Structure 1
Amino acid sequence: MQVNETLNEGLKRGYTISFTAAELDAKVNEKLIEAQPTIEMKGFRKGKVPMAMLKKQFGPRVLGEAMQETVDGAIAKHFETSGDRPASQPDVKMTNDDWKEGDDIEIAMTYERLPDVPEVDFRSIKIERLVTTVADAEVDEALGNLAKSANNFEDRKKGAKAKSGDQVVINFLGKVDGEAFDGGAAEDYPLVLGSNSFIPGFEDQLVGVKVGDDIEVKVAFPAEYGAANLAGKDAVFECKINAVKEPKPAEINDELAKQFGAEDLAALKGQISERLGAEYTGAARGVTKRKLMDAL
């Protein structure tokens, strides 16, 4: 085996590692000798098959395994000898792409080594440890956000127009080229305007509708739409507005807590405080780690 350095710039390293065909052949023979006592072949007793026949029968199969073990062993020996610690998996490839059995082998290996860490007297380093606490106001803010996410919807006043964020309850029938299509119809469907749960442009055209309105919504299915028969097609949806409802944040009480898997409101507050505390502790640990790295 021969190792030659090809790159040494900063932390970047490059080497070529070459093996003679004889070295590889010796590895193949070694593996065949190791397996010989267990091999049976017609006309020979177990363990008595001649090496020449073993090599002819199993040599090509063993060759790849021997080559991999030889390369892996050479790389491991290089790192042991050089003391380098690669920052990531080294890039290893054969340089002779037209290699065939009987040729010498040469591989090229490049990597970036981890820098040497100097001896440090840690007793001289002082780092301020950050202690975090979760304020009641922060828990209340998080509760408010949960209440908003668990909105209830209540009917708007008679004649009120739908706004973005409202829920409209609709009957709709979708048609392409004047023909209804599968999955394009529903009754009393609750749709939150601005949720983007329908195809682009659909919900925008329902802003401003009132209960009792009949409206045609004209849209185009995206070219990448999941149903191939609708992808890129223009469509018209005949919509009947049955209700227009405005969002009302859920009340912050035991019922809200149960929606989020807590036994009661006190338990939910405890869970929120614990989660916020874990987030703050993680952030404080990150700041402390950065200060330590700067000090080093």
Structure 2
Amino acid sequence: MAFHHNNVAMLSYSMLIAPLDPNPVTEMDRRINELRLKYRTYMVEVDVDYGAIMMPMMFSHDFGDQIQQYATLVDPKRNQFEVLVERNNQGIYLTKGWHAIRDFYKVQFGSWVTVVFMGDGRFDIRMKNKFGKRIRYPTFNPPMNFRVEHSAVPVTVDWFVPRPFMHDGMNFQFTYEKKLAVADVESGFLELAEVGFAQMALDRETSIVDMVDENGNIWNCTLSFSMNPAPNFKIGGGWELMVKARKFAEGVRVVVGAPAVGMNLTLYFCVIRR
């Protein structure tokens, strides 16, 4: 009798963790799919001051072997957030890229996120604030797609708890601090005067540059040099997307950093939070 019970339990468990059926046909298929969706639904928090989360142990146990180095979070408006997946002997963590959620949805006091594992490294997400009110999902055409820089993946030992992403201070050997003007926000271009930082860190012949923000997201930008009204560099493309995604306004103070003198093809960026 116990053997029969264990077999039934194992069959039920195998059914629940099996891949979702993208096109259920029969009523039974639809009911099984609904059960699978419920089984792979979890609740996590967004802490405004801590840019990482540990996934529930139930997820690690049931689906941990189905998720790779990066995962994608997708909201109801199809906005996407790529996040780095790290592990230790305690569980699975989402780190680099996680805090983009805070800035995109303007989370002020923390929030609750319902995550549904859809397979292939994808989670569908729904959000509520700490008071249980549904958070509005911004609409973009095409939807916003946050990607993280892949150049440096940390190695995590079994006992070490993965930490939120932080810029490497070596990438800010040369810095340019600026209070955003109306033109920086509305024109689609961030203007950097050529003197000082830009003269040392940028090259007039370069037409593209990447910017990595303080959440680890990478923005593919254009770079142009102009003599009018005074010698300056203009960063566009991904800069305009970042302004829209993070809802920058006039007066926001930012820092742009570079690791070395010369032709830097990647710049580093952060907002100064008071």
TM-score (norm 1): 0.19
Which structure has the larger Rg?
1
Q: Which has the larger helix fraction?
A: 1
TM-score after normalising by structure 2: 0.20
Whichever structure has more strand as a proportion of its residues is 2
